[in-house]
Amino acid sequence: MKFYNRENELAELTTIHDQANSSGRMTVLTGRRRVGKTLLALESAKKHKHLYLFVSKKAEALLCQEYVEEIRRIFTVPVIGEIRHFRDIFRLLLELSLTERFTLIIDEFQEFFSINPAVYSELQGLWDRNKATSKLNLIFIGSVHSLMYRIFQDAKEPLFGRADRIMFLKPFSIKSIFTVINDYGYKDMQTLFSAYAITGGLPKYLELLAENSAIPQQQMFDFIFRQYSPFLAEGKNLLIEEFGRDHGTYFSILELIAAGKTARSEIESILEIHAGAYLSKLESEYALIDRHKPIDAKPGSRLQKYYIRDNFLSFWFRFIYKNLSAVETGNFAYIREIVERDYATWSGKVLERFFHEVYAASGEYNRIGSYWERGNKNEIDLVAINDLKKEIIIAEIKVNKSRVNLAELEKKSKNLSLEYKGYSVEFRALGVEDAEAMVI
C-alpha cells in the first residue's frame, strides 16, 4: 500500500531536520503498533542521509555487531576494534554528526529496559555534552506506550525533558480512510464506516484487508474470522507486553467495556474487585481508554462512562477475546453467528463516535459530545455547539435513521436546551449516508 496522509507530521519532522543543522535535535515518535511510526520516520528521512537501527531482543554485544555493519554501509569511516556497548555506538555517531548532518532512527527504543537499562543514563550524559555542537537529527520510536512514557515523561528518568518534540501518532482520519478505500474502488459510506469501525484507521490493518481483497464488510468478516487470520491473536500480541503479569485483570476490564459495561460500578460488581487503579492506568499510563462525560457536565461530575479509544481493540475484545474458546477450537461458524447477532448493537455506539469525528473535522463547532442525565435518562447521541454563533445541533444517530423520532428527540433535550437560552437549535436524524456531504 502506498504512503498516505501524515502531511502535518512530515512537515514537523522536516522542520526539526532543518533545525538540526545548527544543533542536535531529539524527537520521540510513539503510538500503538501498526499505526505507521516506522514508515513515517523513514518517509521523512528518505531524501536525506539516514541510519536506521532496530532494537531487537538480543544481547547488547550482538546488537552492536549488527549496528557496526550498518554504520559501515552508510559511512566511510573506519570502525577500529570491537564495540560491545551501545554507548560506544552512540558516541561514534555523535562524533560523525559534528561535521555532517544526518538522521538517526532508533526503533523500539524501550527494549533497552530488558537489554541494558543503563543505556538511558549513558545516552543522557552523551547527549547533554554534545547536543550543542552536533548536527544529529535523532528520532526515537517506541510502541510500548507505558515504557516510552516512563523514559521521556517521568521526571525521575534520565531522558526526561531532553526531547525537543514528543509526537503521538494517531490512526488515519475518516477522510484518509476514505482516500484509501476509494483507491481500491469503494466510495460508499457503509464501506467507509465498516473500515473505520473494524480497523480504527490503523494503516497496517487497512493494508491487510486491501491486499486480501477484503474491504467490504462481509469480506472483512470472512478474512478476520478464519483459521490463520492475522487478526485473531492481535490483541494479545499488542497488549501482553504492556500489561505483564496483570494482563488477565486488564483484559477482563477491557472485555466488559467492549461489551457495554461502561461504568466503574458495573465493572467492580461483575469482577468483584476495586477497579479504580486499573482504570486509572488504562487511561493515563496505557492510553487505551478514556472517560466520556455529558457535554455540559461540571468538572467534578461523577456522571461518566468509559470507552476503549481504539476501535479495533474494542472489536477484538467484543468478538474475538470474548469467544476465545471458539477461536481456539476453530469454530468460526459459531463466532459468525455471534457477530451477525451483536455487531449492529456494538457498531451503533461506534457510529456515534464516527459522527463525532466527522463533525469535529468540519471545524464548525468548538464543542462536540453526547448528553445524558442521571440513571442514563434522556440520552442524546450527538450535541455540536458553536458558542461564537450561538448555534447548537442535537442529533440522534442510527444505522436506519428512519427509526429516529425527532419529536421524541426534542422532548429528551428539554433540560439540555434550557442551558442554552438564546441559541438556535436544530434537531437532526443522522444515518451513515449523511456523512457523505461532510467527508467527500
Domains observed in the chain: 7-168 (3.40.50.300), 174-224 (no CATH), 359-439 (3.40.1350)
pLDDT at residue 81 in the model = 74
pLDDT in tens, 341-397: 999 999 999 999 999 999 999 999 999 999 999 888 999 999 999 999 999 999 999
pLDDT at residue 80 in the model = 67
d(CA 93, CA 114): 23
Bin 230: left if φ > 0, else alpha if -120 < ψ < 50, else beta.
alpha
DSSP code of 97? T
With a cut of 50, list the residues of the chain below it in pLDDT.
none
DSSP code of 134? -
pLDDT at residue 305 in the model = 93
Task: Give the burial class of 276: count Cβ atoms within 10 A of its Cβ; 0-12 exposed, 13-18 middle, 19 or more buried.
Answer: exposed
d(CA 171, CA 297): 28
pLDDT at residue 207 in the model = 94
Could you tell me the pTM of the whole model?
0.90
pLDDT at residue 377 in the model = 93
pLDDT at residue 4 in the model = 83
CA separation, residue 314 to residues 259, 332, 361 (Å): 8, 19, 23
d(CA 420, CA 425): 9
In this structure, what C-alpha cell is assigned to residue 41? 520516520
Strand locations in 208-351, DSSP E? 289-292, 305-308
How many CB atoms neighbour CB 328 within 10 A? 9
How many CB atoms neighbour CB 268 within 10 A? 16
pLDDT at residue 145 in the model = 85
pLDDT at residue 76 in the model = 85
367-373 β-sheet, strand order:
367-373, 377-386, 391-397, 424-430
In this structure, what C-alpha cell is assigned to residue 80? 577500529
Strand locations in 149-248, DSSP E? 165-168
Strand locations in 260-401, DSSP E? 289-292, 305-308, 367-373, 377-386, 391-397
Nearest to 31 by CA among 145, 177, 201, 200: 145
Distant-in-sequence, close-in-space partners of 281: CB < 8 Å, separation ≥ 6: none
pLDDT at residue 228 in the model = 94
